[in-house]
Amino acid sequence: MFESLKCIESVFIPSWVEKIESYAFGFCSNLKNVIIDEGVKVIEDNVFQSCDSLQEIKIPNTVNKIGYSALPRNIKKVELGKNRIYYSKAFKQYR
């Protein structure tokens, strides 16, 4: 979707988006902050792969799945909603 766009620094994902597809923001090396609105249900695998500048992400209560390696390994802050039903390898290190 927005893969490899270096101009993106912040992203707001609105409530009408139910699923963030794999690699949607992968390799957006300047992406620093992500806010996901209530209504989003799934964050697929590798959505933020190699987003090494990503510092903060807010994940709402409506998210019930975070895919494999969805979040970068060096993220500084993750705010999770109340429904903590997440895939255990969401923060898996890339090789």
pTM: 0.81
Closest CA to 66 of 53, 78, 50, 54: 78
> Are the C-beta atoms of 72 and 92 separated by less than 8 Å?
no
Q: Is the pLDDT of residue 66 over 50?
A: yes
Phi, psi of 79 (to 5 degrees): -100, 115
Strands (E), the chain: 10-13, 19-20, 33-36, 42-43, 56-58, 65-66, 77-79
Q: Is the pLDDT of residue 87 over 70?
A: no
Which pLDDT tens digit goes with each residue over 6-56?
778 999 999 999 999 999 999 999 999 999 999 999 999 999 988 989 988
> Are the C-beta atoms of 10 and 30 separated by less than 8 Å?
no
